[in-house]
Chains A and B, each alone.
Chain A
Amino acid sequence: MTGRIFDIKHFAVHDGDGIRTTVFFKGCPLKCLWCHNPEGLTRPKQLAYYEHKCISCGECATACPAHIISENGHIFDRTKCDGCEQKEVCLCEPLCLGGALKHYGRDVTVDDLMPELLADVDFYKNSGGGVTLSGGECLLQADFCAELLKSLKAQGINTAVDTCGCVPRASIEKVLPYTDVFLFDVKAIDGDVHKRCTGVDNALILENLCFLDSVGAKNEIRIPVVPGYNNGELPKIYEFLSKLKNITAVKELKYHNLAGSKYEALKMENNLPKST
């Protein structure tokens, strides 16, 4: 079994307690207007081009016809790029001398991941940290996550699952036995507000949160606060949360409009609200 990830981040210090390693899974059921990980929105592999870092070295053009070096510098013809979907390794990114090309999307097995996730085990133990699965939405790949989390728990590693909650309950049930804490996003209580901000209804999300609470799972609630979008929801969110019994913490995440360069590099539509 393989999982599709787009990044592994060591020394992640904001994805749960202590020093952690976070695995970012590719693909998400939500399309939040403020999403700062656009490379995690879709499942297909993608190539980002950070133009300001390009030195027009031309190495990429030797490997892939999607890249052309002209008198005006590097031209990236996205119509010819499929993100090396069928290949194990992207052809052009490793050649890029300026670090302008960044490939997102890698299929990995649990055995592939474990050595890298165990490398920082001393840091986890000394800081109360561990491993966090995030995304995108990691639970879209629940079977893989369950297998990975099971292996981590077998090694005594603290585990966290960072989820938007918009997945079938069965997916949550698969990872439940191996998850120490859920980092559960709550964006709105009002269904319309939620749909306007994320593209989907929130009934399933809130249901899943209640389910997790009812079975005694630890939930750290995370509320991205985006002025003009969901800040009016805060009282309702807190009221909703007050009825739950197993909330370990509630964190409001202040919004900043700092992911624009990623959207530009991926040529994805950027609907980021303005920062205040």
Chain B
Amino acid sequence: MKYITEADKRHIEGKYHPLDGSYDPYNRFGYNGYDYDPESGMDNEKIKEGLYALLDELDAKGEHHHVTKAKGFSFILDNTRIDVNEYDYFVGFNCWNRIMSPHRKWLKEVEQNEEMKRIKALRDLCWDTGIITMWPDFDHTTPDWDAVFKLGFPGLLARAEFYKEKHRREGTLDSEKEAVFDGVILTYQSIMRLINRFYEYSLTHGGEKSAEISACLKRLSEGAPQNTYDVLQIIYLYFMFSESVDYYQVRTLGYGLDAAIYPYMVKDIEEGRYTRDQIGTFIAHFLMQFSAIGNYWGQPFYLGGKHPDGRTKINEASHLIVEVYDELDIYNPKMQLKLDRSTPMDFRNKVLDMVRRRNGIFVFICEDGMVNALMKSGHSYEEALDAVITGCYEVKPKGANGSGCTHLNMVKPLLLILNGGKDEMTGKTLIDDVKPLAELKTYDEFYREYIRLVSHFAEIAMELEDAYDPYLTYCNPANMMTGAYEEALIKGEDAYFKGIKNGSGFLVCSFASAVDSLMAVKKLVYEGNKITLDELRDILNANWEGNEKLMMLARSLPNKYGNADPETDMTAKGLAAYICNIVNGRPNKKNGRYGTLAHSARQFIVHGEKTGATPDGRMAGYELSKNASPVPGMDKNGVTALIRSALSMDPSNFTSDFCVDVMLHPSAVEGDEGLAVLNGILDTYMNGGGFAIHFNIMNADVLRDAQKNPEKYKNLQVRVCGWNTLWNNMARSEQEAYILRAENII
């Protein structure tokens, strides 16, 4: 490999987990791989003991949480084992198990007051029944990267000290503010001590890389990053301290990783400090950290976008990052491309080529769709254009945070109508004034009742979030983040409360499942007179047993979202507009507003497990639809129909994100013709107001799954020779032949 040796790559893998691959990507709270030098600090057990004793002591004294947490943070950083070695340009510290941060203890305390007991019980009920999942979200934050790069850790510390003093001088430093500042200052002081410790350690460790590493650490201990390597190191350090110790996940790596490093890269090359290839090596080592951390959700970072004058932000750094990523043959961190008409075609094609070779890899965020959505939620054009991606697809303006952990299962209210307000799986009552089925004589009456219930549960979802929000920084003071935002320091407020704007994400889940189920009720009960609502309820509660023919009929109805069926798409459009209107722009309790997301995260599985059989022909417990995508296997009219359905909803209704998943067979995207096809899909989606989109290029594993579960892959096409055929129309022996060929694809 050009940019990294196999030895270095493997060593970095082992930094975060055992090299035999025996780690659970769904359960990554501590990132511990190889053993660190015992001389360099305490082991994690000792740190745990010391930390808990310290926290108990400070709690007993009634110390302010900002200070307590900062002292705990300092204890960890001061005592953790550290590592600098010959394989890795990035330092290591023995990552604390972040789930043991004090926030859980303090959250339990909060849930003891009478009002929060009620809220907790309501949250548990919603959680258990799978209608709403909500949790305090510390997972979608970003620092002000501009400030981090401009000031470095010493500058951030000095700025916090300056504003504390300013408040003192001006008489505005009350005890609350003082605690906020002390939390920040103690936190950044301990970061500085650790960087110095790293520096000292690097003088005698690090082999051939030692001089480079120690020089970098010296610069970071004295001020702002000076070159590309410094910038990558500070991104990494901020990420690790925040995510692993401060318990705030950082969901960007710079405001565009390419934009972050480009000015430094130009200077490094011009001044002869580093060559392009050397910078590529730093990038390779940097990306490998996140690959090896290996969280299931993938660490996102984005590239591209455009300047306010319309010029593309794609630069030589964008090309180099993609080139290095490709060589590493990794899938984590995950890359996002802010796509615009100004994005150069050679770069687009480079990226699309990776998409088809590497089954996806990139998420495309269309700038126009993103800008439209953010402007619809009240942001200026400039704010919208410069927006930051802080999760899978979620966007927010710079200088603000987004969070997203209120998920509404859109199909559940429909089942509650059938079951008189009781959850069909647990029997628990979720609402007790549902209209009797006998009163729902027309589809319009049924739909009206459904909409009423959607509205009711949307309010509950926001009530839950609103109840927890004021306590977030009591439970988990955002010390690092507060120090990274000047606005928060000017106000003397925690950044995750009132210090800056903090939006709340409202995830509209199982949207297509809800639409298809509404259409099935309409067609089977009200128009087709196949069954009554009572019969439908009983059939669904029996999980279609004994009524398999009806289940097949429900599945075969043409009125499914994703097929450009006008009647279905009109229902989808109305429902999308309705839920978005309820939620968008609603003020939350942490100095921000709610925004909607057509995004399900993992809830299409989690809610699915807790949702009984649905009228669209789905059986109990199965997956629900995800994102703005159709129910699996129900988009039978091809990619173009899927895109038309999605666009008919006006993606900008979903002000925080809207994502469509497109599945393609490798044979559909081969050669130059294949690039034209991918570009054609992207341009049509982008020009039609699309927001986020990603591709799934099927491989042999997927084909095997398709063979076992044909109902999930009704739209999968296979290139035979000069034409395509549907996978499900092939005999098993033909499928075997195709799988055999797919396995030979390298």
Contacts and interface: CB of A to CB of B under 8 A. Distances in A.
B722 A224 contact: yes
A9 to B, nearest CB: 8
B676 A259 contact: no
B433 interface: no
Interface string A190-225: 000000000000000000000000000000001010
B721 A224 contact: yes
Interface in A100-150: 102, 119-120, 122-123, 126-129
A99 interface: yes
A82 interface: no
Give the interface SS of chain B, mostly helix, strand, loop or mixed.
Answer: helix
Interface residues of A, number: 45
B679 A10 contact: no
A15 B717 CA distance: 15
A263 B294 CA distance: 48
Nearest to B643: A123
Nearest to B669: A13
Given A11-B640, A275-B737, A122 B688 contact: yes
A13 B721 contact: no
Contacts of B641: 10, 119
Contacts of A18: 673, 676-677, 680
Contacts of B730: 258, 261
Contacts of A14: 673, 719, 722-724
Interface in B707-737: 718-725, 728-734, 737
Contacts of A98: 552
Contacts of A59: 549
Interface in A1-38: 9-15, 17-19, 36-37
Contacts of A261: 729-731, 734
A243 interface: no
Interface residues of B, number: 43
A123 B684 contact: yes
B721 A255 contact: yes
Nearest to B735: A258
A57 B720 contact: no
Contacts of B676: 17-19, 127-129
A236 interface: no
A123 B729 CA distance: 26
B430 interface: no
A21 B617 CA distance: 30
Contact of A36 (B668, B687, B720, B733): B720
B687 A13 contact: no
B524 to A, nearest CB: 13
Contacts of A128: 676, 680
Residue of B553, B555, B679, B731 most packed against chain A (CB within 10 A): B731
A160 B461 CA distance: 54
B637 interface: yes
Given A262-B729, A275-B737, A123 B722 contact: no
A97 interface: yes
B644 A126 contact: no
A99 B728 CA distance: 10
B677 A254 contact: no
Nearest to A129: B680
Contacts of B734: 258, 260-261
Contacts of A123: 640, 643, 680-681, 684
Interface stretch (A47-55, A70-78, A174-182, A227-235): A47-55
B721 A253 contact: yes
Given A255-B721, A256-B737, A261-B730, A19 B680 contact: yes
B738 interface: yes
A273 B150 CA distance: 69
Interface string A252-276: 0111111111101000000000010
B399 interface: no
A17 B552 contact: no
Contacts of B731: 52, 260-261, 264
B19 to A, nearest CB: 41
A129 B718 CA distance: 20
B268 interface: no
A84 to B, nearest CB: 19
Nearest to A56: B549
B677 A127 contact: yes
Contact of A97 (B556, B638, B673, B719): B556
Contact of A256 (B680, B720, B728): B720
Nearest to B556: A97
Contacts of A275: 737
B639 interface: yes
Interface in B618-664: 637-641, 643-644
Contacts of B729: 50, 102, 261-262
Contact of B684 (A17, A122, A253): A122
Interface in B549-575: 549, 552-553, 555-556, 564
Residue of A98, A261, A264 most packed against chain B (CB within 10 A): A261
Given A119-B564, A261-B731, A13 B673 contact: yes
A189 to B, nearest CB: 20
B724 A19 contact: no
Nearest to A251: B722
Nearest to B686: A126
B683 interface: yes
Given A19-B640, A259-B720, A127 B679 contact: yes
A11 B719 CA distance: 12
Interface in B511-570: 548-549, 552-553, 555-556, 564
Contact of A258 (B637, B643, B728, B738): B738
B549 A126 contact: no
Contacts of A258: 718, 720-721, 725, 730, 734, 737-738
A15 B549 CA distance: 38
A114 to B, nearest CB: 16
B684 A10 contact: no
Contacts of A99: 556, 728
A120 B637 CA distance: 12
B721 A10 contact: no
A122 B720 contact: no
Contacts of B718: 258
Contacts of B668: 11, 13
30 contacts: A10-B641, A11-B640, A11-B668, A13-B677, A13-B724, A14-B719, A14-B723, A14-B724, A15-B722, A17-B676, A18-B680, A36-B720, A55-B552, A97-B549, A122-B684, A122-B687, A123-B640, A123-B643, A123-B680, A126-B679, A126-B683, A126-B684, A126-B687, A127-B679, A127-B683, A128-B676, A222-B722, A254-B721, A258-B721, A261-B731
Given A127-B677, A258-B718, 18 more contacts: A10-B640, A18-B677, A36-B720, A36-B723, A50-B729, A52-B731, A53-B728, A57-B549, A97-B553, A123-B681, A126-B680, A126-B683, A126-B684, A127-B680, A128-B676, A255-B721, A256-B721, A261-B730
- The 8 A-B residue pairs with the shortest CB-CB distance, nearest first, are A127-B680, A97-B552, A126-B683, A261-B731, A11-B638, A253-B722, A10-B638, A126-B680
